[in-house]
Amino acid sequence: MNDELVNDITPPVEQENYDKDLPKGEKAVHNTEVRKRIDDLLEKKRLKELLDDSDDWDI
């Protein structure tokens, strides 16, 4: 029974070179700028929702 369990275990997958799939040069710079812009907009949206949900404001 132990032999059956050992046979079912898959060998570890070799570490692949993921760096080859990453963009390089201008595309990498562009992706970085786009990601930063998205992060900024998401943070702005989060802060706006916090302010809009606040009942502390007296007008």
List, in order, residues 6 or more apart from 23 with CB less than 8 Å away.
31
Q: How far, in Å, CA of 46 to CA of 22, rounded?
A: 29
Q: Do 29 and 37 contact (CB within 8 A), yes or no? A: no
Residue found under tokens 């132990």: 2
- From first CA to last CA, the distance across the chain in angstroms is 75
User: What are the tokens at 4?
Assistant: 């059956």
Which pLDDT score is estimated for 25?
87
> Could you read off the pLDDT of 42-52 as tens digits, one per residue?
999 999 988 88
Chain segment 3-55, per-residue pLDDT in tens: 555 556 665 555 577 777 777 888 889 999 999 999 999 999 999 988 887 66
